Structure 1
Amino acid sequence: MKFYQSKYLPIIIGTACALGVWLGSFVKLNQTTSSFFTGNTKKDKLNRLIDYIDYEYVDEVNTDSIVDVTVNRILKNLDPHSTYIPAKKYAEVSENMQGDFVGIGVSFYRIQDTVAVIRPLPNSPAEKAGIKAGDRILYANNIALFNTAIGNDSLKKILKGEPKTKINLQIKRQETSGLLSIAVERDHIPIKSIDAAYMLNARLGYVKINRFSETTAQEFQEAVKALITQGATELCLDLRDNGGGYLDQAVKIADAFLPDNKLIVFTKNKNGHINKTYATADGSFENTKVFVLINENSASASEVIAGALQDNDIGTIIGRRSFGKGLVQREMDLGDGSAVRLTVARYYTPTGRSIQRSYANGSNAYFQEYTERYNNGELLHKDSIQVNDSLKFTTPKGKIVYGGGGIIPDVFIPKNTDQNKESLDYMLRGGVIDRFIFNKLEENRKYYNQLTLERFEKEVVADEAMLVAYMDYLGQFGFDYQLSKYKPLLKQYLKATIALQLFGSNAAEKIINEHDPYLLKVIQLDTE
């Protein structure tokens, strides 16, 4: 199978990345909307049709599915970012954006129908109870988890529960005979939106944010506080591939860099009502160097930050033109456990530009614009970015910026469109390397589990033997991959995945970012 050599790879990657953008920037609406529909004949018509199908149609029909299809089609005709969340998916979606869940705190694989622990999360109930990477969880409250009838969704429900409730686990550990009985008390487990926070040099801190959840601003404040204690006086904020989330969280982060009373963003609804948001005097990095990294998958709340700084002549925006989403969604309860995120306003950067690109040709064309950017060359050359002179704006210091479709960076970084390189990146971010590395760690789990991060950095290397083993592993699945000049990068990604499984995303990102062209440019600009 020559998947990684396929000419369709750019389309596949672009479509996959676009999925992350649907979250958008949205706020919650707690008030009931039932009063809007009182005496509404259009609503009565739909209700009557559903009733006719329920009671009169010749065959049994799942009218719930009809309603779901109807709602989705209605929203699809509005804009690409108004979305419907069915009741069965609402809890999962909400949990991801809330920033935590209640459980024991382990990441795991299913290996031959057995739950294998990749690693207990730091400070989690599982870690405190003594669960280790490589442990097999065979029973939970006497329920056999190796039962093939228990899917991942059911498994998660078993391990999750109410705070302060206990779950009794039976564990098989590689270096011990018999089963270990471990009681774990469930608690709140954070779902981190910050992947990494570390120092790039003696004064420049780095923070990578993967989305904007309810806890992102708080996570950011904690990360920045730690970096400042390490000497950070400048910051690099990595928003690449960040598809957005809660607008208020982006506003709070932008505030960290802007002087008091500077306009951050404003929204306008269909009635022309404008709501402006200004910076406060609490910023941690006001009047200092800041670099913001974006790419074609940086959307919505990410663009609020980039646009606010660029329009206020603060910092340097580095990368490629961002996605171009300037619509604000509000979450509305539909009364049966489902919800709709409906576009209720547009947001504008401080100079007054809307960066929402056109969706006049429909949602499919809208989300496939990555292919158009790929074909017209703008991923390789800044001069290929198409701008509309009628949407030209000027910042206070005279810089020309454009509306009409994304934030155009101050400093352009071309995309590496070599399909072998893209395939490698897909392997890393898509989890292809993960299972192989887990199996390698299992060969000497006792050694790896007692490593400190310092010892890991000195002792562990992804050597030629591991590279050959990985290629043999890929061969089992029919992958045809040409290594040639990318051997060093693949070794780097293999070691990064080891770091991820042993120490988490911060350690992994530090390795992944070695020789990253974005960060090399940041360090160069910082020294000029």
Structure 2
Amino acid sequence: MKGKYKIYLPLLLATACVLGIFLGAGLDFSSSGKLFTSNPKKEKLNRLIDYIDYEYVDDINTDSIVDITVNKILENLDPHSIYIPRQEYANVSENMQGDFVGIGVSFYNVNDTIVVIQALEGGPSEKIGIRGGDRILYADGTPLFNRNISNDSLTRQLKGKENSQVKLKVHRKGLKDLLTFNVRRGKVPLKSVDAAYMLSPNLGYIKINRFAETTFEEFRDALKNLEKKGATQIALDLRDNPGGYLSEAINIADEFIKDGKPILFTKNKSGAIEETFAQREGDFENGKVFVLINENSASASEVVAGALQDNDVGTIVGRRSYGKGLVQREMELGDGSAVRLTIARYYTPTGRSIQKPYDHGNESYFKDYLRRYENGELKNADSIPVADSLKYTTPGGKIVYGGGGIIPDVFVPKDINNEKENIRLLLNSGFMSRYIFEVLEKDRKYYNSLSKEEFRKEVIIDDKMVQDFIDYGRSENLNFKINNYSPLLKQYLKAVMAQQLFGTNAFERLKNEGDRIIEKVIELSREKQ
């Protein structure tokens, strides 16, 4: 809001609280007809909005005022009730689905040309032979190069209705003529299981990045494949998993918990309790499970860890989890936007609420990691704050605590080193991925010809590449020191290269080499044989 509108903003924001009542009239609570009954307060506010729209002396964007008001209202409820604007809602919803409709490529826009990073596994482009390094020049005769359009616009152009066809003209290095691919758009998996492989002859590993619509199905397929390879123990990696659909977490917990045992219960504002129990014979009820968590494991991840811990099933390994014990429901507001509103609290089977306090405001709440760092709990389990009033006992006699996250059975300290953290930041920022893409571009024919085994044996990340990477950073105005951490940088560079060539399973496998928590799990696994 600019110029003359600024002077009216305080006046309009003063109506924020009551305006929230008006907005609440449109929420989709199918279980309560009371929200849609006639209310003089709502009618009054309806009139106010109309007066501002039609009678006020200056033009006011009431849509933006409503957006600001909704955000302000939700900020004063709890840290996890959020507003999703119309322009973001489609992307947010798609991310939680198990797939999207398109041609199935990840790409960079290089010199105004679409260059394929990778044809996504299981997608239409992979099936018909499109490869990393291919340049998509035309779609149905429309040039996609030398155009000043954003990645979002390009993505929309390549997406379309399921089973619709698009004719692509593609330039591949080393070939004189353009290749033609008739791609039938289809469902492209958005995988939430990043990796599944064997850590030892009897210990399988599964990494889940979020709980989306297809997570349980992906997990079950991965588990069955690992069992065929001899897995009698599973390491379930939920580190850095922010959560998602509660139903998917419940289904996964049910794989390990015997029928009739509690998984969790929820309690709403009226005190109504809804209990959830294991309902079927899981594939791994008699196997051994290790759940890996850290300070970024939240919500649905904590449901799984808490359910297993409170039923004396398996071993929780790592560091105290995030501490989110609130349940949200997504509700559309009628104009393409939505809210995720907290509707209940969940409790683990022993009755623990693991929601950390938020009574000092959202800013304080989201700085909890800094407090953990400063009080030393990331390096020492004895520094984790616990309260005797929040002590609970599992059926097997184990002491557990509520009040802020799941405390692991076996603590593994965080390797806190600024240089190591910098390498991880470079990885998470996408900068490392862009550098590796340019390395692969120099010899696409060779890299695309490699099998996984050939890649593992032949590709060596040497000191020269480390220096090239540092120089590349400087060319982009990024100055960082590596010093004694060049072995870790080499490991990460090769992992990112494997990701672009072979996918996330190969990436996680290389990245996890030497991981402290995984090494601890392997050690515990041997003890339990």
User: Do both proteins adopt the same fold according to a TM-score greater than 0.5, normalized to the shorter chain?
Assistant: yes
Structure 1 position 29, deviation (Å): 6.8
Q: Distance in 2 between matches of 1:161 and 1:34?
A: 38
Matches within 5 A, 1:409-448: 409-448=408-447
Aligned with 2:195: secondary structure? strand
Structure 1 position 177, deviation (Å): 1.5
Matches within 5 A, 1:465-504: 465-504=464-503
Aligned with 2:118: secondary structure? strand
Matches within 5 A, 1:355-394: 355-394=354-393
Q: Distance in 2 between matches of 1:77 and 1:297?
A: 23
Q: Contact 1:30 / 1:333 at 8 angstroms: preserved in 2? A: no
Q: Distance in 2 between matches of 1:408 and 1:384?
A: 12
Q: Contact 1:37 / 1:43 at 8 angstroms: preserved in 2? A: no
Report the equivalent of 2:258: 259
Q: Deviations over 1:92-125 (max 9, x none)?
A: 1111111110000001111122111001112321
Aligned with 1:115: secondary structure? strand
Q: Contact 1:330 / 1:341 at 8 angstroms: preserved in 2? A: yes
Q: Contact 2:470 / 2:479 at 8 angstroms: preserved in 1? A: no
Identity %: 61
Q: Match of 1:308, as an amino acid?
A: A
Q: Deviations over 1:35-72 (max 9, x none)?
A: 61321233223322211211112222221111111111
Report the equivalent of 1:328: 327
Instruction: Tell whether 2:347 aligns with 1:318.
Output: no
Q: Contact 1:496 / 1:507 at 8 angstroms: preserved in 2? A: yes
Q: Deviations over 1:364-414 (max 9, x none)?
A: 111111111111111111111111111110111111111101001111111
Q: Distance in 1 between matches of 2:431 and 2:221?
A: 32
Report the equivalent of 2:143: 144
Aligned with 1:116: secondary structure? strand
Aligned with 2:343: secondary structure? strand
Q: Distance in 1 between matches of 2:146 and 2:479?
A: 35
Cα 1:156–1:500 change in 2 (3 A) is same
Structure 1 position 146, deviation (Å): 2.3
Q: Contact 1:258 / 1:286 at 8 angstroms: preserved in 2? A: yes
Aligned with 1:487: secondary structure? helix
Q: Distance in 2 between matches of 1:113 and 1:282?
A: 54
Aligned with 1:387: secondary structure? coil
Q: Contact 1:32 / 1:333 at 8 angstroms: preserved in 2? A: no
Structure 1 position 80, deviation (Å): 0.7
Structure 1 position 475, deviation (Å): 1.6
Structure 1 position 283, deviation (Å): 1.0
Report the equivalent of 2:17: none
Q: Contact 2:298 / 2:321 at 8 angstroms: preserved in 1? A: yes
Q: What CA RMSD, in Å, does the superposition of the two structures yield over aligned residues?
A: 1.5
Structure 1 position 466, deviation (Å): 1.3
Unaligned runs of 5+ in 2: 1-26
Q: Which moved more, 1:418-427 or 1:476-485?
A: 476-485
Q: Distance in 1 between matches of 2:29 and 2:222?
A: 31
Report the equivalent of 1:296: 295
Q: Distance in 2 between matches of 1:164 and 1:32?
A: 37
Cα 1:284–1:362 change in 2 (3 A) is same
Q: TM-score, normalised by structure 2?
A: 0.92
Report the equivalent of 1:345: 344
Q: Match of 1:215, as an amino acid?
A: T
Aligned with 1:330: secondary structure? strand
Q: Distance in 1 between matches of 2:145 and 2:125?
A: 19
Aligned with 2:461: secondary structure? coil
Report the equivalent of 1:402: 401
Q: Match of 2:96, as an amino acid?
A: M
Structure 1 position 144, deviation (Å): 2.4
Instruction: Tell whether 2:496 aligns with 1:522.
Output: no
Q: Distance in 2 between matches of 1:312 and 1:32?
A: 32
Matches within 5 A, 1:120-199: 120-199=119-198
Q: TM-score, normalised by structure 1?
A: 0.92
Q: Distance in 1 between matches of 2:31 and 2:430?
A: 42
Q: Match of 1:172, as an amino acid?
A: H
Matches within 5 A, 1:454-473: 454-473=453-472
Q: Contact 1:243 / 1:298 at 8 angstroms: preserved in 2? A: yes
Q: Contact 2:201 / 2:230 at 8 angstroms: preserved in 1? A: yes
Q: Distance in 2 between matches of 1:47 and 1:172?
A: 57
Unaligned runs of 5+ in 1: 1-27
Aligned with 1:156: secondary structure? helix
Q: Deviations over 1:340-379 (max 9, x none)?
A: 1111100000000100111101111111111111111111
Aligned with 2:317: secondary structure? strand
Q: Contact 2:258 / 2:278 at 8 angstroms: preserved in 1? A: yes
Cα 1:148–1:34 change in 2 (3 A) is farther
Instruction: Tell whether 2:81 aligns with 1:90.
Output: no
Q: Which moved more, 1:140-149 or 1:494-503?
A: 140-149
Q: Distance in 2 between matches of 1:46 and 1:358?
A: 34
Q: Distance in 2 between matches of 1:323 and 1:143?
A: 48
Aligned with 1:335: secondary structure? coil
Structure 1 position 33, deviation (Å): 6.7
Q: Match of 2:410, as an amino acid?
A: V
Cα 1:176–1:509 change in 2 (3 A) is same
Q: Distance in 2 between matches of 1:41 and 1:340?
A: 24
Q: Deviations over 1:126-171 (max 9, x none)?
A: 1222211101112212222224432122111111110110111121
Q: Which moved more, 1:139-148 or 1:211-220?
A: 139-148
Report the equivalent of 1:10: none
Report the equivalent of 1:215: 214
Q: Match of 1:334, as an amino acid?
A: L
Q: Distance in 1 between matches of 2:185 and 2:463?
A: 42
Report the equivalent of 1:286: 285
Q: Distance in 2 between matches of 1:232 and 1:387?
A: 36
Q: Distance in 2 between matches of 1:235 and 1:269?
A: 34
Report the equivalent of 1:307: 306
Report the equivalent of 1:270: 269
Cα 1:34–1:68 change in 2 (3 A) is farther
Report the equivalent of 1:13: none
Aligned with 1:245: secondary structure? coil
Cα 1:30–1:205 change in 2 (3 A) is farther
Aligned with 2:244: secondary structure? strand
Q: Deviations over 1:287-343 (max 9, x none)?
A: 321110101110000000110011111111111111000000111121122211111
Report the equivalent of 1:512: 511
Q: Match of 1:384, as an amino acid?
A: S
Q: Distance in 1 between matches of 2:454 and 2:496?
A: 16
Structure 1 position 182, deviation (Å): 1.8
Q: Contact 2:122 / 2:188 at 8 angstroms: preserved in 1? A: no
Report the equivalent of 2:247: 248
Report the equivalent of 1:8: none
Q: Deviations over 1:429-473 (max 9, x none)?
A: 221211111111111101111111121111111112211211111
Report the equivalent of 2:7: none
